């Protein structure tokens, strides 16, 4: 079937040193076109540090189906962009009752993607001279949700030099 280049919205690029790069640049460009954010000013982070989204922050968003569609697309981008996981998880919590403030948070993520469209996952072979390592890191924000006091936690797991979860 030939060399893998593009599959399910994920671009696969091989580098001469054996590194594999996975990116969703085309998928993100299409998402920016869909939301009319292709010309938006890029920003450096997907969410502000003090952003606390709640269930009753502002007026209801006028197009809930657009919100659901875009948030679903953003969920798919977390395959190659794990740094978006926290921000996308937060906006997913408001699919049933979407407010204008939630859409503003979505647009901020899109502006971040605009400025970091070429970021990708790097996979490289582990050196044969060293044993395989597994490294896990986690963090928790206890009772931080202003609506129901739920906690948020996250973890990353590396197998050798590669992020696997």
| Alpha carbons within 13 A on the beta-carbon side of 101 | 13
Q: pLDDT by residue (tens digit) across 102-157? A: 889 999 999 999 999 999 998 888 777 878 889 998 887 776 666 677 777 788 88
- Lowest average pLDDT, out of 19-28, 34-43, 88-97, 121-130, goes to 121-130
Say if CB 97 and CB 91 are below 8 A apart: no
* Burial of 20 from C-beta contacts in 10 A (0-12 / 13-18 / 19+): middle
Residues in the chain, how many? 165
Q: Are strands 10-14 and 20-23 parallel, antiparallel or unpaired?
A: antiparallel
- Mapping DSSP to helix (H, G, I), strand (E, B) and coil, where does residue 18 land? coil
Q: pLDDT by residue (tens digit) across 50-80? A: 777 777 767 888 888 998 999 999 999 999 9
């Amino acid at each position: 079937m030939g060399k893998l280049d593009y599959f399910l919205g994920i671009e696969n690029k091989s580098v001469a040193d054996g590194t594999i790069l996975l990116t969703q640049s085309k998928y993100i460009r299409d998402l920016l076109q869909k939301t009319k954010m292709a010309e938006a000013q890029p920003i450096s982070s997907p969410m502000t540090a003090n952003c606390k989204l709640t269930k009753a922050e502002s007026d209801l968003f006028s197009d809930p189906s657009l919100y659901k569609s875009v948030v679903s697309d953003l969920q798919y981008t977390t395959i190659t962009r794990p740094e978006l996981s926290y921000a996308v998880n937060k906006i997913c919590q408001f699919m049933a009752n979407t407010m204008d403030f939630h859409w503003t948070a979505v647009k901020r993520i899109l502006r971040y993607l605009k400025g970091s469209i070429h970021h990708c996952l790097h996979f490289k072979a582990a050196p044969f001279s060293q044993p395989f390592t597994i490294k896990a890191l986690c963090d928790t924000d206890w009772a931080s949700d202003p609506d129901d006091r739920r906690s948020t936690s996250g973890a990353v797991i590396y197998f050798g030099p590669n992020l696997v979860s």
